[in-house]
Amino acid sequence: MDAVTTSLTIPNRLTYLRPVMAYVREIAALVGLSEKDRYDVELAVEEALANVIEHGFEPDALATFELACEVAATSVSFVIHEKGMPYDPNRVRDYQPPASLSEATTEGLGMFLIKRMMDEVSFRNLGRQGRQTRLTKRLAAKRVDGLVEPERLSPYAKTPRDTKRSDSSPDYTVRPLRQDEALEVSVCAYKAYGYSYEDYIYYPERIWELNQKGLLSSFVAVAEDGTLMGHAALKRNATDDVIGEYGVLFVKPEYRGASIAGRLTEALAARAETLNLCGVFARAVTSHVVSQKLAAAHGLRDTAILLGALPSDVEFKSLAGLNKRRESGLVCYRPIRRGEPRDVFPPPRHAHVIERLYENAGISVNTRDGGSNDKPRQCELHTRKIAMLNTGMIEVSAAGDDCMAEIKRAWRSLCLDKTDAIYAHLDLEDPATPAICSGLEDIGFFLAGILPDGLRGRDALILQYLNNLRIDFDRIKLHSTAANELLDYIRQLEPSAKE
């Protein structure tokens, strides 16, 4: 594919580094770099930009320079173009790691780090046009648009929603994905969703690697002539997860109405049984009810509504078109193995709603009053940001004495990083959870719902926080009575409703 180039004009002031690095991070995530490679790119580009700002111009001089990003099929490059003071990087002494701390020096360290973190680093003197520094990171795997002809990636043509299977629709088989079919899965995902889906789906090698690791269990519907008609997968974040997620479901428009989605979901359910999972869940969109009806037909029941869960550029092609506002998500769950009823400690003000959600999911629990922990514990908290969705997750698996301070620190960091929506998962089986919930509500979090078995096998209470994000509740379309009741309750809690 031809390289896609974007660029920024940057003032030579360090205060502008923060928004510029946000751009770098988003690009690194967009092209699917691993977490380590994203870290390397951020460190190298920030060091190079800081060098230009601090040493490339006369003190107090007001100037600007350019940062361009070039995304190609096999690499991503960050190119700095500046017209600062004459500079020859080849004359910078190579950094030598010190033999002892007393001999430590930082001379040449910046350039040393840049070269270590990137795959290629080059400098060009452009004479009167200044200088160019190019930092390149190779992609571990080729993305779909670098593997197939552009015409194969044109979006699917729109088809009526009520299209039924015609007599000419071919017979098909549902079976596990084969390695040589991973590319066609990437093509189908692009044609259905553009580049608004999770990044791994655009890299055939990664799809197969995740299947080999057991993090994806992909099934395909295949016609007798070998045509791939649809795909779905059971997803897990780790191989020891006790629940799996139904997802990555798409059916080519010309085959909709042939019960392909239903049969793929049945295959996922059978796979969940063989893995001895405690349950399965799905996240359905709310711009239409097609996926909600499919989940309900396979025994999944609504347990949470995540406001603003999807970005504004998600494409649903012939189902709902381009979503121009952030999309909300509906969480649905089906238990498989639960055992004896568990003790749960819901916040008193939400106890009746949470009990209703458990009842709707067909799960028996013993509702208890909360209290303090029997003995002091250290807070166990995990925070992550999903760059593509611009959402954050705070998981609290153990509520220690310092828990609120740790949660607030993670929350502030995500807010400062302009994260649109933040979701907190608390342990409903911990008697300290009602107090933690109250503390979170004091800073603007509010109820989203529950996810049974969703916190390392323990039931999760889900709270949500909207970071200067407005929700148009009238645009949320829900299929079930339980989901509509939950939305009405959440709507009363959402901070803007109190203004």
Q: How is residue 409 written in tokens?
A: 């620190």
pLDDT tens column, 13-42: 999 999 999 999 999 988 888 888 999 999
In a domain, 305, yes or no: no
Mean pLDDT of 96-122: 68
* 239 lies in the same domain as 349: no
Asked if 368 and 492 sit in the same domain, the reply is yes
Tell me how far apart the alpha carbons of residues 254 and 230 are, in angstroms, rounded to a whole number: 11
Measure CA 91 to chain center.
43
pLDDT at 371: 74
Among the ranges given (193-202, 246-255, 416-425), the one the predictor scored with the smallest mean pLDDT: 193-202
Domain boundary among 138, 155, 170: 138
- Among residues 123, 138, 153, which one ends one of the domains? 138
Are 178 and 248 part of one and the same domain? Answer: yes
Identify the three-state secondary structure at position 241.
coil
**355 and 482 share one domain:** yes
Name the residue type at position 23: Y
End of a domain among 138, 169, 201? 138
Q: CA-CA distance, 345 to 365, in Å (whole number)?
A: 10
Is position 283 within any domain? no
Is 138:34 a contact under the CB 8 Å cutoff?
no
Report the C-alpha gap between 13 and 15 in whole angstroms: 5
Q: Are residues 127 and 164 in the same domain?
A: no
pLDDT exceeds cutoff 60 at 376:
no
- CA quadruple 115, 119, 121, 122: dihedral, nearest 10: 150
- Same domain for 430 and 492? yes
- Residues 133 and 212 reside in one and the same domain: no
CATH number at residue 403: 3.40.630
Q: What is the mean pLDDT of residues 299-312?
A: 91
Tell me: do 354 and 463 sit in the same domain.
Answer: yes
How many Å apart are CA 275 and CA 243, to the nearest integer? Answer: 9
Average pLDDT of span 52-63: 84
Report the pLDDT averaged over residues 184-197: 83
- Domain containing 61 — which CATH number? 3.30.565.10
486 and 363 in a common domain: yes
Q: What tokens does 250 get?
A: 């798409």
DSSP state of 155: P
Domain range for 131 is: 4-138
State whether 178 and 59 are in the same domain.
Answer: no
Report if residue 132 sits inside a domain: yes
Q: Are strands 391-398 and 421-427 parallel, antiparallel or unpaired?
A: parallel
Number of structural domains in the chain: 3
Higher pLDDT, 212 or 143: 212
Does 55 reside within a domain?
yes
% of the chain at pLDDT higher than 90:
54
Confidence of residue 131 (pLDDT cuts 50, 70, 90): confident
| pLDDT category of residue 62 using cuts at 50, 70 and 90 | confident
Separation between Cα atoms, residue 49 and residue 56, nearest integer Å:
10
Quick one: 446 and 413 in the same domain?
yes
Phi–psi pair at 292, nearest 5 degrees: -65, -45
Averaged pLDDT, 410-430: 92
How much of the chain exceeds pLDDT 70, in percent?
A: 87
Q: What is the pLDDT of residues 449-488, one digit of tens each?
A: 999 999 989 999 999 999 988 899 999 999 999 999 999 9
* pLDDT, position 374: 60
Tokens at 129, concatenated: 């046009």
- pLDDT tens-digit profile of 250-297? 888 888 888 899 999 999 999 999 999 999 999 999 999 989 999 999
CATH number at residue 194: 3.40.630.30
CA distance 460 to 430: 10
Do 235 and 129 sit in the same domain of this protein? no
